[in-house]
Every structure is written in C-alpha cells, then in structure tokens.
Structure 1
C-alpha cells in the first residue's frame, strides 16, 4: 500500500539540463553580462570620484590664490594712496 518512490536526482538534473540547455545558456550569458556591467560601472564610478577629489583640491588652491590676490590688491591700493 505505502510505496516509496525513488528518484534518481542526478539523472533528473541531467535530463532537465539537456532538455532546457538554451534557457540555461541564455541565463548564463545574462549573468556574465550583468557581472561585467557591474564591474565596469564600479570602475568608472571610482575614476569619477577620484577626479572629483582632484578638482576639489584644485578649487581650494585657486580660492586661496584668489584670496591672496585680493589681499595684495587691497594692500597696493592702500599703499598707493
């Protein structure tokens, strides 16, 4: 009455893979493509962050130079009077 069924799991997996190999191949390609896209996006983002930091340092230097020039101008204006 109570019959236990035995399933040959490796055979089921093999048959499933052989039956639906196109879907598996498409999914594998999609995984590889998305992984590569993530790597490229992270790399470009890090480059942009690095460039932004360099530009901020350059801006600070220019601001300091500008302040010094204004001080120098004011000093020369006062001295020339």
Structure 2
C-alpha cells in the first residue's frame, strides 16, 4: 500500500515566497505602497480642488459686493444729491453777499 502524503499549501507558498520569490515579494509590497500613495494623493488633490472652488466663489461674492459698494458710494457722493438733501431736509440755502460784503 502506498501512503498519500499531504502537503500544507500555506507552508509551500510561504517557502516559495521566502526562499525563491524575494524579488517578487518586494515588488508586490512596492506596488501596494504605490497604490496607497496614489489614493492618498488623489484624495488630497480633490480636497484642494474643492477648497479652491470655495475660495473662487467667495472671491466672486466679495467682488460683487465691492462693485455694489463703489456704485453706492458714487451715488451717495453725487453733488446734486447732497445739495438737494441739504436744501430739503436741513433747510439750508445759498448765501449771497451784498455790495458792502455783508451777508444777505
């Protein structure tokens, strides 16, 4: 009778990798590390792109507000408007000098 010898598959794979496949094991580890780094860099890049878009939107809002404030300043500082407010609300009027340089 012949006995069948059983082999442990895990030990065979371990022996092959450690004794004969050191370069392959090293390359496998390098590929896994590189893959993880690619995922990390992609995540950071997408986060930076999202942050940049938020900043661009904020810049656009601030630019719009700035333009509105400049227009408001120009409207409020217009001489005719100031003169009309002074006459209507404050009852101010122009003074005239008489020929003897006294106020009328």
TMscore range, shorter length: 0.7 to 0.9
Q: How many residues align?
A: 68
What root-mean-square deviation, in Å, do the aligned CA atoms of Structure 1 and Structure 2 show? 2.0
**Structure 1: runs of 5+ lacking an equivalent:** 1-13
C-alpha separation in 1, matches of 2:54 and 2:43: 17
8 A contact 2:76–2:82 mirrored in 1: yes
Structure holding more helix per residue:
1
Point out which structure has higher relative CO (alpha carbons under 8 A, 6+ apart): 1
Higher radius of gyration, 1 or 2: 2
Tell me the residue number matched to 1:80: 82
Tell me the residue number matched to 2:32: 32
**Structure 2: runs of 5+ lacking an equivalent:** 1-12, 84-104
C-alpha separation in 2, matches of 1:71 and 1:38: 49
